[in-house]
Amino acid sequence: MPESTVASIILAAGGGTRFGEAKQLLDWEGQSLIAHTADTAWMAGLEPVIAVVGAAADAVAPVLASRPVQVVRNYRWEEGLSSSLFTGIAALPTETDAAIFMSVDQPRITPRLLQRFIERRHESGRGIIVPQTPDGQPGNPVLFASRYFPELARLTGDVGGRVLLERYADDIAYLPVDDPYTLMDVDTPDAYRRMKDYAGSHERALPFDEIRSLICDMDGVLWRGDTPLPGLHDLTALLDDRGMEYVWVTNNSSRTPGEYVQKLAHMGVTTTEEHILTASVATAQYVADQRPGATVFSIGGNGVREALAAEGLICCDELNASEIDVVVVGWDQQLTWQKLATATRLILEGATFIATNPDLTFPLESSVAPGNGAQIAALEAATGVKAQIIGKPAPPLYRKALARMGAAPDTTLVVGDRLDTDILGGVRLGMPTALVLTGIADREGMVGSPIRPTAVFDSLAVLIEAWRAAVTVHV
């Protein structure tokens, strides 16, 4: 039932000298190539992210010290690329299903492209995924299923995984990449300059005139607590004026879609449940798809319980929880030690551990409170089992929203107040993103963050003002 685990192995042990310094430390958009590559893999949701360092390791490794990256040293890096493959594979957890082998010098690779590798693997059923330029040339990075790890680890000399491609041609699925610059590597100083010039000339502002649909968070964007935020009514008026499809999407699992409809009505906004998508609904649908009729022990409010019941799942409380298939954890304002104890026991007995969302905090009117991520952390610490997340930034929630609207990612704007969930979820699916600073995120917290929204606005009202001005100019 759990989704496959796909790791990233960043090959960064080389000792090339043509740049006059370690290539891994060349600047790319204000940070080093190695940091940029590691951030890209992490933002794509690959886990773990392993960086293999060798030459200049003493200078390269500290750059990654503050990032969620496992740094491993290849002391035999002079023996060639194969030694780095062996070192990276040896560091993988045994449960890893596949790994994307990345070069440190392809800065145009995006989180969305890495997600497409995973999607291509699922749809094709193949064990090797190779990107392909418009003229049919194969490129890097390459995804290998775990069944190829032993053979990759046995390679010797200065050779990489490409020696397996001819041998296993029938197990390859190619991934089309439209822009040939995406797969280019920083091989020479001239290529480095050309790539930086290209990146600078292709920076884009928020494409308001191309937006056809909207995915918008609620808590911290439309309101804080029970207080509507400036811009709420302006946004609904804009959606009506432009005839746009929209879905209000939230990781808050405590309320039902009907309760959100009522809350919006009290704020003077009329909508329907079809325009509301919660992490609870997405989680219940996921569990029902994977385990129809499963017995579930849940932590969470009405939003969690009603969503599970609506999908025909059998819900049990802590008094009769036995032989449970799945433990579902959502934000619970009535959380007790007994609930945590029951969930811990069931997970240790083998129940699948699924969480609606990973938000560590929840925005109140004048402060923040512990969110579902804090509950998950307690259970993960107690059980040693990592939860499978359905809500933002994991792709399922936004994918359901897109499917509900019949919308395309590149013309759908994501609006949210959190970098680590709202914005990161949009980045992973290649959607333009707008961060508003009326909830969790602030400008100070953005400094040094690898997650970069397309645009940042002080409030929803400022966003709408900019949107109307841009559309008026371009109409």
Question: Looking at the annotation, which residues are catalytic?
Answer: 217, 219
Amino acid symbol at 241: D
Element (H, E) at 250: strand 245-250
Query: Residue 131 in contact with residue 174, Cβ under 8 Å?
Result: yes
With a CB cutoff of 8 Å and minimum separation 6, the contacts of 316 are: 295, 296, 297, 322, 324
Q: For residue 113, report the phi and psi dihedrals to the nearest 5 degrees.
A: -65, -40
Q: Please say whether the dihedral angle defined by the alpha carbons of residues 290, 298, 257 and 424, taken in this order, is positive or negative.
A: negative
Q: For residue 457, list its beta bridge partners.
A: 436
Q: Which of 275, 329, 287, 338 is nearest to 304 (CA)?
A: 329
Per-residue b or e along 357-380, where b marks 16 or more CB atoms closer than 10 Å to that residue's CB: bbbbbbbeeeeeeebbbbbbebbe
Question: What single DSSP character describes residue 421?
Answer: I
Q: Please say whether the dihedral angle defined by the alpha carbons of residues 258, 264, 270 and 271, taken in this order, is positive or negative.
A: negative
How far apart are alpha carbons 273 and 281 in whole angstroms? 11
The CA distances from residue 193 to 26, 82, 110, 137, 188, in Å, are: 11, 29, 19, 23, 9
Element (H, E) at 128: strand 128-132
Q: Give the N- to C-terminal CA distance of the chain in Å, as an integer.
A: 48
DSSP 217-230: --BTTTEETTEEPT
How far apart are alpha carbons 168 and 20 in whole angstroms? 39
User: Which position has the token pair 């006059």?
Assistant: 20
Query: Residue 306 in contact with residue 274, Cβ under 8 Å?
Result: no
Query: Residue 453 in contact with residue 422, Cβ under 8 Å?
Result: no
With a CB cutoff of 8 Å and minimum separation 6, the contacts of 433 are: 413, 414, 415, 416, 422, 423, 426, 427, 453, 454, 455
How far apart are alpha carbons 308 and 288 in whole angstroms? 8
Element (H, E) at 117: helix 111-124
